[in-house]
Structure 1
Amino acid sequence: MDVRPGPDPGRAAPEHRDAYLLTGLCLALYAGALLAWTVCGIAQGDGSIWDFAESLFNPGSAATPQLLGPYEWAFTAAFLVIAALALARRRLARSAALLSGFLLLAASLREGVGLCHATYRHQYSNDPLGSWALATRGLGLVVALVVLCVMFPASERWRESRRDRRLAPAPEAGWHRSSAICGVLFLLMGLARLGWVVADLTAAEADALRYLHGAVDGSVLGTLDLTASAEFATLGSVLVLLVLGVLAVRGRHEVRGALLVFAAMQLYLTVRTVVWLTVTDFFHQSFETTTGALSVATTAYGLAAMTSVVVLATGHGFGPYGGPRTEGLRAAAVGRHGGL
């Protein structure tokens, strides 16, 4: 009987090595560009590095406004983590990299729509950092296209079909349970946020057309800004939560990396919101109105749901990505019963 360990199921096949290497380098390069903007913002501001560290979690801090916002800070950390996983050729990185590619592409297309306006284009030439901002936008578009083009063909579903199903009933069952739970949590969070968007757009003083325009056109704010607009970030998060939720409920274990990364990003943003609500004493006044109570309930659910997804996605319930390896099951069975 062959007792040699089989290939690591969490590692990409050798034929996909170049795709993972190129993805890791591209994402690391773009993360480096975002880090450079962050350092530039700290250097231009009047605050210290400690003031910036406080602003990472406290929106009400007195630090000077930065060139990037919390969404970009979260993406910088996510890109660095995904790049490290891709360079290590972990299969976990594939879906996370594809998610990053889609989000970068969406942001680039939004900026492209804004560049169709002559007034907005002139801001790039008039601003001292305009050329660097345009280069960063262009780099984001190139990175998005490269990641999507090289990672889409790097699928290994054929590898799953060759797995001996007789030896993996427990990991499969565990993976389906964890995946379904993550999917339901994502769907509920997405529906809750969608409900808030609909409520905001149907309010008497709301301008729904301007809101939707701001989500797809980078020139709406009228200023050159590398930070994501509230409209784009909100609608983008709703779409990602719903799409990933459906895929997870359907048992697509290859989305585990995307679930983990996006849940971690949302957890950071939710913690930041909780800090803001705490320092503004919103919690003590929230239950005076129905809207305030619902807002607190949504925030509390987001904190619990995203924490749960992070815990589940980093656990051992996702089969070939985190569950017991086939040879480990075989060795355990041999040790208990002396043979198979």
Structure 2
Amino acid sequence: MAMQDGAALDVRPGPDPARAAPEHHGAYHTTALFLSLYATALIGWTVYGIIQGDGTVRDFVEGLFNPGASPASQLVGPWEWAFTAALLATAGLALTHRRLARTAALLCGFLLLALSVREGVGLFDAAYRDRYGIDPLGGWALATRALGLVVAVTVLAAMFPATEQWRSGRGATPPSRGRPRRLSRICGVLFLLMGLARLALTVRTLTTPGMDAARYLRGVVDGSVLGTLNVAASSEFTTAGSVVVLLVLGVLALRARRDIRGALLVFAAMELYLTVRTVVWLTVTDFFNQSFETPEGALSMATTAYALAAMTSVVVLATGRGFGAPETYGEAASPTTE
């Protein structure tokens, strides 16, 4: 406190806009705990797959980036590895009360909820339900899915209400809204273009002669389509899910009314890892030299190149200081005095 003209003037520094308010620390701690639990479960499946597989730890490490070196008997795949890293990173941010963690956690929660709903739809199939009793790992797989549902509901319930209105202290200068919103819109455009390109490729695949489009679309929402128990998400789910997330986050970032940097950063990092892995595979298989022989190959190469550049750009922009604090998106009240 200080005195000015006989009146008390509060000169204490205002709250850090990059961190959650104290009343939300419990929600952030709960989120960190539950995300870590599910990440631990995925790590357990990964370790079990390495132990039971015909490869070595060295093969697994090399297979993280080189699909050709990855053992075929893995119980979880690249999408789960990327998702595990995203869960752990988000949990770390939440544990330190970084507001960046909120939208990242909400994204993880929605992805987990979608996986759980897909598995729930599959359980309506009697033959698929029976496999949980026949398969030696059926009980553990079911427990993992149940844990995913609990984690998803808990994280969403904890983080949705964890919004806050920041108020600057006396004499504070309102932050500039131009640059952060401009960067958000750039990320939004990059996400939207990527989502539309992937949607076009998916539609082209579904309209290919001989392609069972109905079965593909059913595989997006029904876990029983493959007929086997899989902890790893199907390619149909990951492809359709990426299209939806890219388009939704792209629209939200383009509107630039809320700071969704955490979700942008987490998903862009996941996509960047998967894209780099694809590039490595194209390199070791010498597909680069044959890619432009067909229109499909050329389109696939162009999409991969764009994904590599776009997701790298989003990661760089989202980790920079240019995005600013939550106030720059209109989430805070105007400066007031107390």
Normalised by the length of structure 2, the TM-score is 0.91
Structure 1 stretch displaced more, 201-210 or 299-308: 201-210
Partner of residue 166, structure 2:
159
Amino acid at match of 1:142: V
Equivalent position to 2:13, from 5, 25, 33: 5
Amino acid at match of 1:167: T
Q: Distance in 2 between matches of 1:138 and 1:152?
A: 21
Equivalent position to 1:45, from 53, 56, 74: 53
Equivalent position to 1:235, from 240, 263, 268: 240
Q: Which has the higher helix share?
A: 1
Does the 8 A contact of 2:13 with 2:169 survive in 1? no
* 1:1-340 map, 5 Å: 4-61=12-69, 63-156=71-164, 158-159=165-166, 167-170=173-176, 172-320=177-325
Q: Distance in 2 between matches of 1:299 and 1:96?
A: 24
Does the 8 A contact of 1:20 with 1:86 survive in 2? yes
In the TM superposition, residue 149 of structure 1 has moved relative to its aligned partner by: 0.7
SS in structure 1 opposite 2:260? helix
**1:31 and 1:288, CA in 2 relative to 1: closer, same or farther beyond 3 A?**
same
Does the 8 A contact of 1:92 with 1:321 survive in 2? no
Q: Gaps (5+ residues) in structure 1?
A: 324-340
Q: Distance in 2 between matches of 1:2 and 1:279?
A: 64
Partner of residue 336, structure 1:
none
Q: Distance in 2 between matches of 1:176 and 1:166?
A: 20
Q: Distance in 2 between matches of 1:163 and 1:264?
A: 36
Amino acid at match of 1:137: R
Does the 8 A contact of 1:315 with 1:322 survive in 2? no
**1:165 and 1:57, CA in 2 relative to 1: closer, same or farther beyond 3 A?**
farther
Amino acid at match of 2:217: L
Q: How many residues align?
A: 320
Q: Distance in 1 between matches of 2:258 and 2:298?
A: 36
Does the 8 A contact of 2:20 with 2:97 survive in 1? yes
Does the 8 A contact of 1:10 with 1:322 survive in 2? no
SS in structure 2 opposite 1:104? helix
SS in structure 2 opposite 1:254? coil
Q: Distance in 2 between matches of 1:86 and 1:169?
A: 25
Could you give the per-residue CA deviations for residues 66-105 of structure 1, whole angstroms, max 9, x where no partner exists? 1101010001110000001111111000000001111100
Structure 1 stretch displaced more, 283-292 or 27-36: 283-292
Q: Distance in 2 between matches of 1:235 and 1:43?
A: 31
Does the 8 A contact of 2:103 with 2:261 survive in 1? yes
Moved over 4 A (4+): 162-166
In the TM superposition, residue 167 of structure 1 has moved relative to its aligned partner by: 1.8
Amino acid at match of 1:13: A
SS in structure 2 opposite 1:60? helix
Could you give the per-residue CA deviations for residues 161-193 of structure 1, whole angstroms, max 9, x where no partner exists? x688972443x2110111010000000000000
Q: Distance in 2 between matches of 1:105 and 1:296?
A: 32
SS in structure 2 opposite 1:105? helix
Over the matched positions of the two proteins, sequence identity in percent amounts to: 68
SS in structure 1 opposite 2:322? coil
Q: Distance in 1 between matches of 2:208 and 2:72?
A: 33
Does the 8 A contact of 2:94 with 2:102 survive in 1? yes
In the TM superposition, residue 7 of structure 1 has moved relative to its aligned partner by: 1.4
SS in structure 2 opposite 1:7? coil
In the TM superposition, residue 322 of structure 1 has moved relative to its aligned partner by: 11
Structure 1 stretch displaced more, 60-69 or 98-107: 60-69
SS in structure 2 opposite 1:10? coil
Amino acid at match of 2:231: L
Does the 8 A contact of 1:286 with 1:293 survive in 2? yes
Partner of residue 331, structure 1:
none
In the TM superposition, residue 252 of structure 1 has moved relative to its aligned partner by: 3.2
Does the 8 A contact of 2:54 with 2:73 survive in 1? no
Q: Gaps (5+ residues) in structure 2?
A: 1-8, 329-338
Normalised by the length of structure 1, the TM-score is 0.90
Q: Distance in 2 between matches of 1:253 and 1:165?
A: 25
Does the 8 A contact of 2:100 with 2:262 survive in 1? yes
Q: Distance in 1 between matches of 2:88 and 2:207?
A: 39
Q: Distance in 1 between matches of 2:126 and 2:171?
A: 60
